[in-house]
Amino acid sequence: MQGEALVAELELLFSLLARTGTGLADEPSLTSTQKVVLIELVAAGPLRLGALAERIGASDPTVSRAIDGLVAAGIAERRPDPDDRRAVLHVATTKGRDWVERRRREVTAALEGVLAGLAPADREHVVRLVALLNDGLREGDPGLSPRSALLAAR
């Protein structure tokens, strides 16, 4: 079936993209979950724990542990929720936003290098097909946030 072939190609793509980038020595060592959490915090702004867990499809305890590590690394912080003083919002720090932006640049550069070798019509076709896949998956689950997985793969 086509789905299995696509999964195999996407696994290879994600694996190859995971190895792109500089891997800076001063970069904090983050788990995959921490990377996904950080990317969501940058993309979606301050979030409560439950909302963040729902966005990435993880349990509250898993996200709480990830946040603990991000806070300890200085790339996320907890702030009081101005709408509910009992609640806490989680937000990326400047260091966290810088990490996500650097990662986006690295992935973009890797993809641009390959896309440059394709004919313009093929480049447009690749982007259009991936957009169709994303649209179809979002229709099945509107809560999906696919942007995190690709960038987190490092």
Note the pLDDT tens digit of each residue in 81-112: 999 989 999 999 999 999 999 999 999 999 99
Nearest-angstrom CA–CA distance, 37 and 41 = 6
Q: Is 45 left (phi over 0), alpha (psi -120 to 50) or beta?
A: left
Q: Which 8-state DSSP code applies to residue 77?
A: E
Among left, alpha and beta (phi > 0; psi -120 to 50; other), residue 57 is left
- Report which residue type is found at 52: L
SS3 154: coil
pLDDT at position 118 is 96
Q: Is residue 34 predicted with pLDDT exceeding 90?
A: yes
pLDDT reported for residue 154: 46
Higher-confidence residue: 89 or 147? 89
pLDDT tens-digit series, residues 35-51: 999 999 999 989 999 99
Q: How many helices (H) and strands (E) does the chain have?
A: 7, 2
